[in-house]
Structure formats: structure tokens, C-alpha cells
Structure 1
């Protein structure tokens, strides 16, 4: 939903979250890397017979990249493993999918503690490690750490 604010000397266009954007959550169980099943209620109400498009576009706060994932029936398969790996998803995480329209979904992962996973910028971690006396292995490990709960 868009609306504008006119302050007389300056105007702004503001995008508000649409309270009607449907969501679903998915707990990640063993084997989730091979694909996940879309909940029947969500699929029936928001996907089935609403679109012929079989490619979902997933985005998250972990990066600016938009991932294309293939829907096969009620499952997300092709491209899902790449998305899960890039977002450091793990067994026990809970993932919320918010449908933003046109088969674009914002994905928000929560860790086993039920807190949203906060991603750090790997480049910032590498710069901090470079400033210290860490050896090359420590720098690689620190740079690859991408999530904090």
C-alpha cells in the first residue's frame, strides 16, 4: 500500500506493509535441503488455480539477491537447496514466508530459540579480522559466519 505525505515544502511516498499479505511458516526438519512442502491451506487459498507461474522468487535479509525456486506440485524443489545454503538455514529453524504478490516471497528465518536470525555482513567481519592478528584460517571462519541468534 502506497500513500504520500505532503509537508508543504517536501513530499514523501511511503510504502506501508499490507496487513493482507498472506504468510505461512515452515519448521525445518531433517531432509529439508531437498525441498519443502507448501502447507495445504496456503496452497489451496493463495497458489492453486490463482497462477500458472511455477517459479517463486525468494528474498531475505541475508543478501540483496533474489533466488528463483521451482514449485513442483505442493513442493519447493529446484533452487531451494541453494537458497537454504546461502541463508545458512538449519534443522530446527522456523521459516516464515510472506507473499508479497506476483510469486515474490520475503523469507524470515527464526532459530531454535524462536528469535529472528540476524545476519551480519561477511565483509565487515573480514575487515575486523584483518585488523587483528588472526591467521588466515580464522579469517576465513569469521568471514563465513553469517548468522547470529
Structure 2
């Protein structure tokens, strides 16, 4: 991606706006945060050092704390039309979080980006260890067909 050049090394207001647009800066009305998935990210256990999914303090303080009494987050993704309800306790995602991670086959080392769309609705975009967005293609249908194919292959190789 080319970064627009400024005259004499000075960024004019119009150049700054172009710079932000070209880099795809986040809309301030839909704040984002990202989180790498570390060991224990599925557990949702509160107050266990390093073994839970915590919301970054800066994001929580600025966009969540004191802004709403609602403790249920609604998580959406491009992988499914389903919306998952996840409970927020303090700065931790608990009940429902494991269901979301299982449905998306999230693993240690993946990274997730949460975009707050308002009313405690978040669009979640997962990235794999390749640093690329994880692409889903009807995972349940493909998995069932692959499993059936593997079973047939195993039976053939055993005979």
C-alpha cells in the first residue's frame, strides 16, 4: 500500500485525512480491540492468572465501564448467521465464550479483533497463526463430509 507523500515533509490536513483513509483507521464510533489467544483462553475462569479472556483495561475503561449496566455481549462473525450471547463479569468474558470459541475452532496463538458496533454487539474477526483472517466455508458441512470420507478410506485401507 502506498502512503501518500506530503509536500516538503509536512502533513497538511487533507493529506492527514487521506493517510488515515488509506490505512483504514478505525471509525471512532466503532472502537476496536484485539486480543491474542493464550493458554486457557476458553476457560472463562475469573481471577486465574493468565488463564482467561480479559478485555483490555484501556478499552474497558473508555467504552464499557460506566457506559452501560448490560453484562451480556452479543458476538457476531462472518463465519455464521448465528449470534452468540456471552456474559461479561468484571473485565472477563465468561458463560458463552467457550461456545463461541468452539464454534469458530479458535486455537492458542490465534488473534481476535472485536469491533464494538453499539448496544454491546461486537463483530469478531479471527486471525490464525499465519496472521491472515481465518476463512470459513460452511465448517460443519465440510467437516461431516470429510469425516465420512475418512471413515470410508480407513475401511478400504484396513481390508
Give the TM-score of the pair, scaled to structure 2.
Answer: 0.68
**Larger C-alpha radius of gyration, 1 or 2?**
2
Counterpart residue number, 1:39 = 56
Q: Moved runs in structure 1, 4+ residues, more than 6 A?
A: none
Q: TM-score when scaled to structure 1?
A: 0.72
The question of 1:136 aligning with 2:153 is answered: no
1:23 matches 2:40: no
The alpha carbon displacement at 1:44 in A equals 0.1
Q: What's the offset of the Cα at 1:123?
A: 6.4
Q: Structure 2: give runs of 5+ residues left out of the alignment.
A: 1-25, 45-52, 153-159
Q: Is the 8 A contact 1:126 1:139 kept in 2?
A: no
Give the paired residue count.
118
**Aligned counterpart, 2:114:** 97
Q: Which of residues 103, 114, 126 in structure 1 aligns to 2:131? A: 114
3-state SS of paired residue (2:42): helix
Distance in structure 2 (CA, Å) of the matches to 1:135 and 1:108: 27
Higher share of residues assigned strand: 1
Distance of 1:68 and 1:49 partners within structure 2 = 20
Alignment RMSD: 2.3
